[in-house]
A and B are shown apart, each in its own frame.
Chain A
Amino acid sequence: MTATLTEVDKDGPPTAPARTARRPWQGRRLAPYLFVLPAIALFATFKLYPIAWSFVLSLHKTVDGVDTYVGADNYTRLLDDPLFWTALKNTAVILVVQVPLMLALATGLAVALNSTLLRGRSVFRLGFFMPMVTGLVAYGLIFSVLLNKEYGLLNWLLSGIGVDAVPWLTDPLWAKLSLGLALTWHYTGYNAVILLARLQTIPGELYDAASVDGAGAWASFRHVTLPGLRPALLLTTVLSTIGTLQIFDEPYILTGGGPDNATLTIGVYLYQNAFTYFDFGYASAIAYALAVLIGILGVIQFRVLGDKP
């Protein structure tokens, strides 16, 4: 707080040097508050207030539309709820397996897209970004029909090379894999484009210097490309982590959390509690647990990846 105060003082001296200069200075002091006012007012009304309200809800139990104060009961219930742990485990599996694989893939894709050897770079760049433009309902519908066990295109293609019908969405293990596949299809290109933009800011001289020093392709990737990508890797890791922990749309549309809760994520479990069982209090407790988890992981990632080299 004190730091901000001194900054302000530096910028707008309390004793204006000349009379004519006073009015613009005052306008300049007021203007930022007017400019942020709509954003802050809207945010306070439609975000902060509901967030606080939600916390109050998390301390209550709703029975037949009547709220009763139960203190921390919803939170202790969370710790003993096997379904919550299943959801947490499923979400963690996606986070630990799918996110690193996707980011590795995105890095490879970005390097390939940045290569001067590639013809028609702009076509590829666009093509790989396309899935991101498709909304979740559209893409959920496409995938659920494509992955249909009896009639889906994918199984028909596989049968052509003699592979038996794969229960993409109906077997617990395959369903997890399909979910990972759909996520990768949707987000890899997006991450690659972020990484690519950063890649283009790495000076070519660094690669020239590396090759003068006798570095091969792998060595210059490790010692020039990866360190240069660091800020963009941090950004994509943090965005993917936040996105994954909140993941809801994809499992909801593709599998509804099934089969046998194999794709039940925290987001889906939260939604079920809120809008299927109308247990708003418990759903709010889950939401708060989730927010804390996101906060902790975010801090860890900034610690690990954030240091400037």
Chain B
Amino acid sequence: MTTTAPKTARTAGTAGTAGDRTRGRSILLTSSLAIVLAAVAIPFYWLMIASTHSSDDIFDSPPPLLPGGHLGDNLSALQESAGFGRVILNSLLIATLYTVCAAAVCTLAGYAFAKYRFKGREALFGLLMLGLVIPSQVTLVPLFKMMAQLQWLDTYQAVIMPNLALPFGIFLMRQSMAALPDELLDSGRMDGCGELRLFWKVVLPPMKPGLAALAIFLFLYQWNDFVWPLIVLRDGASFTIPVALASLQGIDNTDYGAILAGTSIAAIPMAIVFLALQRHFVSGLLAGAVKE
């Protein structure tokens, strides 16, 4: 309704003042929100700038506000001090493996909770949702002891396994699956589909947006996770990016140029993935999350 107002104002001179007022308010709103957005974006901008400067330059007065020529040096410093190539590979492999496995676990469970009636359904779902309210710190110590007993320290599975049945992922999938019409499933069954084939051939294809949202969420979660990897990864060669960055910050003469270059490596690919898939992500996440 209001969107068309400026257009009418341009074509029909009589509506001029009302259209001008609408346009004025539109400009006011857009520009004030742009200022807020700039405040949000400054840390990102500064991060990228700082990645291209040496540690000394970053703390200069005035601080550098334009790109410098130090990016290559920072990256090779990262490779030298932390074996960052290996670290990036670890992060990529762990996040990918985790995403695939956790998506399978969460989707299957979410589907069962949404589309089947079975004895103990409410109790089992309630049990899983307990995981949302129990602070994760409760399990850190016993889990660490468990991983040590299994001799899993410094392995990928130590990072991946404990969080595969992610309560939020299961919740999200149950919510998205609930929107699937029962008639679709029934007609699949009429055609003689077994339950597993039904899931694969009938349920999954229309769930693609929800699955994309889940996958991005899981990948982000694992890529950024810090405390648990910090506890189970002891050897520098098994570090993920956040653990490696935190370990670099602790040492004397911290090389902030290198650390911030590493931080860019951690943050920028995620931003790009998110930008590319955001349509799926936001709609899929919200289709599930905001229901009565």
A residues sitting closer than 8 Å to B (CB atoms) are 1, 4-5, 7-8, 10-11, 24, 27-33, 35-36, 38-40, 42-43, 46-51, 53-54, 57, 109, 112-113, 115-120, 124-131, 133-139, 141-143, 145-146, 148, 150-151, 153, 156, 185, 189, 193-194, 197-198, 201, 204, 231-232, 235, 242, 245-246, 248-249, 267, 270-271, 274-275, 280, 283-284, 287-288, 290-291, 294-295, 298, 308
Contacts and interface: CB of A to CB of B under 8 A. Distances in A.
Contacts of A283: 137, 141
Given A11-B117, A274-B137, A287-B135, A138 B143 contact: no
B50 A135 contact: no
Contact of A137 (B146, B199, B246): B246
Contacts of B30: 117-120
B20 interface: no
Contacts of B194: 24, 27
B108 A38 contact: yes
A267 B137 contact: yes
Contacts of A126: 275, 278
Contacts of A30: 195
Interface stretch (B40-48, B71-79, B81-89): B40-48
Q: Nearest 6 pairs between A and B by C-beta?
A: A135-B224, A197-B286, A32-B116, A31-B195, A35-B112, A50-B142
A223 to B, nearest CB: 19
A270 B137 contact: yes
B127 interface: yes
Nearest to A35: B112
A194 B290 contact: yes
Contact of B141 (A29, A137, A274): A274
Interface residues of B, number: 99
Interface in B106-151: 106, 108-109, 111-113, 116-124, 127-128, 131-143, 145-146
B226 A136 contact: yes
A54 B227 contact: no
Contact of B135 (A27, A109, A291): A291
B156 interface: no
Nearest to A297: B133
B180 to A, nearest CB: 14
Contact of B119 (A8, A24, A129): A8
Question: Per DSSP, are chain A's interface residues mostly helix, strand or loop, or mixed?
Answer: helix
Interface in B157-216: 161-165, 167, 170, 189, 192, 194-196, 199
Contacts of B163: 46
Interface of B: 1-3, 22, 25-26, 29-30, 33, 36-37, 40-41, 43-44, 46-47, 50, 58-63, 104-106, 108-109, 111-113, 116-124, 127-128, 131-143, 145-146, 161-165, 167, 170, 189, 192, 194-196, 199, 220, 223-227, 231, 242, 245-246, 249, 256, 259-260, 263, 266-267, 270-271, 274-275, 278, 282, 286, 289-292
A263 B226 CA distance: 20
A137 B137 contact: no
A50 B137 CA distance: 11
Contacts of A27: 194-195
A153 B46 contact: yes
A82 B54 CA distance: 44
